[in-house]
Amino acid sequence: MVKISTQLSLEEFLKQPETKPACEFIAGEILQKPMPKGRHSRLQGKLCQEINQLTEAAKIAYAFPALRCSFANRSLVPDVAVFLWNEIPLLANGEVPDRFDIPPSWVIEILSPEQRPNRVIGNLLHCLEHGSQLGWFIDPDDASILVFLPDSRPMLRQHQDPLPTLEAIPLSLTAAEVFGWLRMGR
């Protein structure tokens, strides 16, 4: 992440133009996320696809890729933000708003080589402290996933270890299946 010094408030930050890659507002600092690379993009896309395939039509949940979520004096852009259907904020006309001022029900971060793991984990913990029910920290280099639940110790998942999901989401995955998506053979 690239640190951009500033003295802006969260509201002032949110009025700034969006950047590519996205910037996050954390503890009064503006930090630019690294540009996603191949493995990151593949995992992000597959996770959204797999979750939405099981949940959207049944109106259980929806997985948003790279959605800005601003709450508790932070503005984060998780790699995947999953919201239970009844928690998705809607405009009066039933459309999804541009601005989400609540934490995701389930937040997923995929570590990029340029990122500092503890900063990313700090964002997951912030989400859990403010209402998220589940967090995944995916490390493609290590082929492991740290799972975070409120008021519990993190769980390391590798190989054939099953991955917990939100209770309402009928998704059954192992760490090996997630990392298997990286192999696209011909």
Burial of 54 (0-12, 13-18, 19+ CB in 10 A): middle
Q: How far apart are CA 32 and CA 152, in angstroms?
A: 30
Residue 32 has phi, psi (to 5 degrees) of: -90, 130
The answer, yes or no, to whether residue 2 has pLDDT greater than 60, is: no
**Chain centroid offset of residue 18 CA:** 18
Cα separation of the two ends of the chain: 34
Tens of pLDDT along 89-134?
A: 999 999 999 999 999 999 999 999 889 999 999 999 999 999 999 9
pLDDT at residue 7 tops 80:
no
DSSP states along 57-100:
TTTSEEEEES--EEETTEEE--SEEEEEGGGS---TTSPPPS-B
